[in-house]
Amino acid sequence: MNIINKTLIGTFGLFAGFGHSACAREKTPDHSKLPNIVLIMADDMGYECLGCNGNVGYKTPNLDHLASQGVRFTHCFSQPLCTPSRVKIMTGKYNFRNYQYFEYLNPNQKTFGNYLKEAGYTTCISGKWQLNGVSHNLPDNQDTDRPYHFGFNEYCVWQLNHSRADGERYANPLIIQNGKDLPRDPEKYGPDIFSDFVCDFIGRNADKPFFVYYPMVLVHEPFVPTPDSPEWKDPGRRYENDTTYFADMVAYVDKIVKKTENALKANGVWENTIFIFTGDNGTHPSVVTKTTNGNIKGGKGFTINTGNHVPMIISWPAKMKKGRVFDGVVDFTDVLPTLADAAGINPTHYYTDGKSFFPILKRDRKPQKSEVFIHYTPRLGNFKHNRWVMNGEYKLYRDGRFYNTLIDPNEKKPLSILSPNEQNIREKFESILQSKEAEFPFEWNNKKFIPGVNQEN
């Protein structure tokens, strides 16, 4: 056993192995009634990027229409950075339980892919992987079976056993599909390859329950032309990096969403598919987005709300015939239990820090939680480590700073004089922070997860 697994298994053994036969069911599910699930997660696309969320600078007609037919969540919170978000959404756990290295998910964990596969779903992942630990040269980082290990029957991904330096994700992409590198081709566009794979998977598995996890490579930098950009016609400009292309990349995300929807409809499974769109974290700080509330600078990596306030839209035509807006809070720990709920998996058969919002999809308007707790240890660059509790209006950091984020979104002036209601909220948030501190003290080492080593940043 390598030192990495010794560290994590010793610390997280209870959670990693909780109900190891996690999806053993009390009765055989009726697969004819199980909904299909498609989860699309854009890369670096904050809440403000969609027209239905107030954007006036980018074109997102398909996502806006999807929101008009499903549920649009106004307060969905991820982590502020990609790997922390991916580890969290895939396992349903706070980062202090299993986030060890940037670009890494320890193989001792179980993901929603594992649980849904065990529940009878055929599963696939397409898009950005970046979880083998290649950049840290971790043991077994060349393991091309890792997606299978995490519960996916098929995969088509970027950055599995190759580093970003080996090949990018857009023009002339370096992609591996089910264990084999695809031929490099400067005429090919990575997002088209990933979305084609998803659509083909849907077509081949339309007669049984399936789960598609599509963590997009769009709209992460480099900000380059798409095939719909005039500049794409000039091969020499396909690698031209400029934020002016960000709008084209957002539009291409919207186009792929419609392409996926059309594939579901063409195969007769749209009505009984839970179709989810979200983003992994906030927009890149170099991007300024025009909205009905003014210009918003991206906050990726940072603890202000633009760092982890992300869009979430869910459609399920069999259960939703009219669009709704849900103003309660949800976070990425809630996704796994929601999918498990949809699949009929007994909640005692897996561990999660989240709460299922599946009832909301079935027209229950009652929020499942009134606030979210965020533990953020980025393990990348100079981004700051922190903990906080928040809802759609207020936010309390572990150092005592308390903000009204609606009035002060950039967190320039902590509240000092509180109303009785604000004082009650603060005390409740403090109690949550104290309980998390008692469960897991705010300690880390930025290079290796070693509880008990305090290296505050």
Question: Per residue in 186-242, pLDDT tens?
Answer: 999 999 999 999 999 999 999 999 999 999 999 999 999 999 999 999 999 999 999
Residues 384 and 363 grouped into a single domain? no
For the segment 15-41, the average pLDDT, to the nearest whole number, is 61
Q: Is 2 within the bounds of a domain?
A: no
Over residues 228-239, the pLDDT tens digits come to 999 999 999 999
Residue 98 CA to residue 448 CA, distance in Å, equals 12
Residues 236 and 287 grouped into a single domain? yes
Residues spanned by the domain of 386: 371-457
With a threshold of 0.95, does the pTM exceed it? Answer: no
Q: Are the beta carbons of 106 and 20 closer than 8 angstroms? A: no
Of 335, 370, 405, the residue at which a domain comes to its end is: 370
Q: Is 398 within the bounds of a domain?
A: yes
Counting residues of the chain whose pLDDT is more than 70, the rounded percentage is 90
Residues 230 and 377 grouped into a single domain? no
Q: What is 35-53 written as a DSSP string? A: PEEEEEEESS--GGGSGGG
Q: Are the beta carbons of 36 and 273 closer than 8 angstroms? A: yes
Residues 399 and 365 grouped into a single domain? no
Q: Is 29 within the bounds of a domain?
A: no
Tell which wins on pLDDT, 456 or 199. 199
Query: Which domain CATH number covers 142?
Result: 3.40.720.10
Of 370, 402, 436, the residue at which a domain comes to its end is: 370
Residues 41 and 139 grouped into a single domain? yes
- What does the mean pLDDT of the chain come to? 91
Q: Is 21 within the bounds of a domain?
A: no
Q: Convert 213-225 into a string of H (helix), E (strand) and C (coil).
A: EEECCCCCCCCCC
For 180-279, strand residue ranges (E) read 180-181, 210-215, 273-279
For 80-172, strand residue ranges (E) read 122-128, 154-158
Q: Is 431 within the bounds of a domain?
A: yes
For the segment 410-437, the average pLDDT, to the nearest whole number, is 97
Closest alpha carbon to 49 in 224, 279, 225, 229: 279
**Confidence check: pLDDT of 440 > 60:** yes
**Residue 444, pLDDT score:** 53
Q: Which range is least confidently modeled, 27-36, 81-90, 147-156, 420-429?
A: 27-36
Q: Is 295 within the bounds of a domain?
A: yes
**Residue 368, pLDDT score:** 85
Residues 340 and 450 grouped into a single domain? no
Q: Give the count of domains, the chain.
A: 2
**Residue 30, pLDDT score:** 56
Residue 18 CA to residue 15 CA, distance in Å, equals 5
Residues 268 and 393 grouped into a single domain? no
Report how far Cα 311 is from the mean position of its chain's Cα atoms. Answer: 10
Over residues 324-367, the pLDDT tens digits come to 999 999 999 999 999 999 999 999 999 999 999 999 998 777 87
191 three-state secondary structure: helix
Q: Is 125 within the bounds of a domain?
A: yes
**Residue 29, pLDDT score:** 52
Of 331, 353, 370, the residue at which a domain comes to its end is: 370
Residues 268 and 328 grouped into a single domain? yes
Residues 249 and 398 grouped into a single domain? no
281 three-state secondary structure: coil
The side-by-side arrangement of strands in the sheet containing 324-331 is 180-181, 175-177, 154-158, 122-128, 210-215, 36-42, 273-279, 309-315, 71-77, 324-331
Q: Is 449 within the bounds of a domain?
A: yes
Tell which wins on pLDDT, 381 or 192. 192
Strand partners, 290: 295
Residues 449 and 382 grouped into a single domain? yes
Contacts (Cβ under 8 Å, ≥6 apart) of 438: none
For the segment 159-183, the average pLDDT, to the nearest whole number, is 97
Residue 421 CA to residue 434 CA, distance in Å, equals 20
**Residue 42, pLDDT score:** 98
Residues 242 and 358 grouped into a single domain? yes
Residues 289 and 376 grouped into a single domain? no
76 three-state secondary structure: strand
Closest alpha carbon to 87 in 314, 285, 375, 303: 375
